């Protein structure tokens, strides 16, 4: 039976890469001093009034005045898993602690992998190195047009990416190549994602298209999404969330290739979902700005997101909870273009969320998933719920 304090819907927004300060083990990852939000707020005054009134500046000291009584509950969470990538962060939110990080390839993929892939697709490849997706097609796009060889590259993430011009290699053929790569990359080379990166245009004016497709791996055990779906709750993925879980555990997926499309998808899901979880990834912070060390772009993206929050609030019902968090950091002010090992913010907002509750420092992102699970009468194997903290009336001191 549904508790009178139960949230009938939870809207979970993951601000991809919006970390809030280095974790104690950041030095083991080369991320000493990283602080994505802190450094952005120090870079210039940010106009984020909605995040501020939820309690963003109350989480820890930053160059933004805290509010006396935040309208939401606020805190931050550590990452208990080994690693600092998108898959690891999202899986931990959903109740899976990753003990062994996904493999990365700072020097490119080993020759045996590349040779096996070339034999399977019947073509040579170009690249095979870490690179920005826009830069590598600028560098190798013309040679790709001349030879017909696909461009293979990676990043600081655990990814095997294949770029191809749509007039040279069709999307369908590119997707087939990705499926081949996914089958090859097993065992110790089991990367988190294989990604198709189609592009169009001419030399000097190449641009990536909306045909991106991710080929992930199945989570190793049952997740929050599986439990919710199997229990009859609606589970909706917006943006790349579905692909991160290899499309498992969702009854519906709404595609969105950028932040604004993801917000539109969220509003659509809120109009059409009666009860359950809407799980959204806002990708631009990471892909467009964090990895490119674009500090001003990152700042503007946060302001643009904040400006859309009133629209989301307007669609909230009395028994909804809006949860904001992140999956890792990606500090654009540091020399590195890699993700950073950081705490992530937690902001909870809604008519039934008691205002001004300080959630402190949570030991794991799984606390978020456990809170959602408890709300729907379920339980994950890891994580400590903070549902009682945000729904019980605070004690007077």
Tens digits of residue pLDDT in 273-314: 999 999 999 999 998 999 989 999 999 999 999 999 999 999
Q: 109 near 163, Cβ under 8 Å?
A: no
The rounded distance, in Å, linking the Cα atoms of 164 and 386 is: 46
Tens digits of residue pLDDT in 112-147: 999 999 999 999 999 999 998 889 999 999 999 999
Max CA separation in the chain (angstroms):
73
Tell me what the mean pLDDT of segment 221-245 comes to.
97
**Helix spans in 201-342 (H):** 224-230, 241-244, 259-272, 284, 295-314
Structure tokens at 208: 């990536």
Q: 159 near 191, Cβ under 8 Å?
A: yes
Give bridge partners of residue 279 from the DSSP assignment: 12, 237
- List, in sequence order, every beta strand (DSSP E) within 20-77: 73-77
The rounded distance, in Å, linking the Cα atoms of 361 and 297 is: 29
Q: 179 near 185, Cβ under 8 Å?
A: no
CA angle (237, 238, 239) in 5-degree steps: 120
Tell me what the mean pLDDT of segment 235-262 comes to.
96
Tens digits of residue pLDDT in 195-213: 999 999 999 999 999 899 9
pTM recorded for the entire structure: 0.91
Domains parsed from the chain with CATH numbers: 9-96+219-391 (3.40.720.10), 111-216 (3.30.70.1250)
Q: 141 near 217, Cβ under 8 Å?
A: no
Q: b/e for 205-214, b at 16 or more Cβ within 10 A?
A: ebebeebbeb
Give bridge partners of residue 10 from the DSSP assignment: 277, 321
């Amino acid at each position: 039976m549904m508790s009178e304090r139960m949230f009938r819907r939870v809207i979970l927004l993951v601000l991809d890469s919006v970390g809030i300060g280095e974790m104690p083990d950041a030095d083991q990852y080369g991320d000493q001093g990283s602080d994505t939000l802190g450094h952005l707020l120090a870079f210039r005054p940010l106009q984020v009034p909605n995040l501020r009134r939820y309690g963003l500046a109350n989480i820890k000291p930053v160059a933004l005045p805290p509010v006396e009584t935040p309208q939401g509950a606020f805190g931050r969470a550590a990452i208990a898993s080994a690693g600092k990538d998108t898959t690891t962060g999202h899986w931990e939110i959903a109740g899976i602690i990753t003990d062994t990080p996904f493999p990365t390839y700072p020097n490119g993929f080993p020759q045996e992998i590349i040779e096996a892939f070339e034999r399977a697709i019947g073509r040579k490849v170009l690249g095979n190195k870490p690179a920005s997706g826009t830069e590598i097609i600028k560098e190798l796009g013309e040679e790709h047009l001349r030879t017909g060889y696909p461009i293979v590259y990676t990043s600081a993430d655990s990814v095997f990416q294949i770029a191809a011009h749509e007039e040279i290699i069709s999307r369908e053929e590119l997707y087939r190549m990705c499926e081949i790569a996914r089958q090859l990359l097993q065992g110790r080379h089991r990367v988190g994602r294989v990604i198709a990166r189609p592009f169009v245009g001419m030399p000097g004016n190449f641009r990536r298209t909306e045909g991106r497709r991710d080929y992930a791996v199945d989570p190793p055990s049952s997740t929050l999404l599986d439990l919710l779906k199997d229990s009859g709750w609606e589970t909706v993925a917006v943006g790349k969330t579905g692909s991160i879980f290899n499309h498992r555990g969702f009854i519906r997926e709404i595609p969105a290739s950028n932040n604004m499309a993801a917000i539109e998808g969220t509003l659509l899901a809120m109009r059409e979902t009666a009860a359950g979880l809407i799980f959204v990834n806002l990708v631009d912070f990471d892909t467009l700005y964090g990895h490119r060390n674009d500090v001003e772009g990152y700042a503007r993206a946060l302001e643009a997101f904040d400006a859309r929050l009133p629209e989301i609030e307007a669609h909230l019902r009395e028994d909804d909870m809006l949860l904001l968090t992140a999956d890792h950091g990606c500090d654009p002010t540091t020399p590195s273009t890699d993700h950073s090992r950081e705490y992530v913010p937690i902001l909870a907002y809604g008519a039934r969320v008691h205002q001004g509750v300080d959630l402190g420092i949570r030991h794991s992102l799984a606390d978020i998933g456990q809170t959602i699970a408890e709300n729907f009468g379920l339980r994950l194997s890891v994580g400590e719920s903070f549902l009682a903290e945000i729904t019980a009336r605070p004690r007077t001191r």
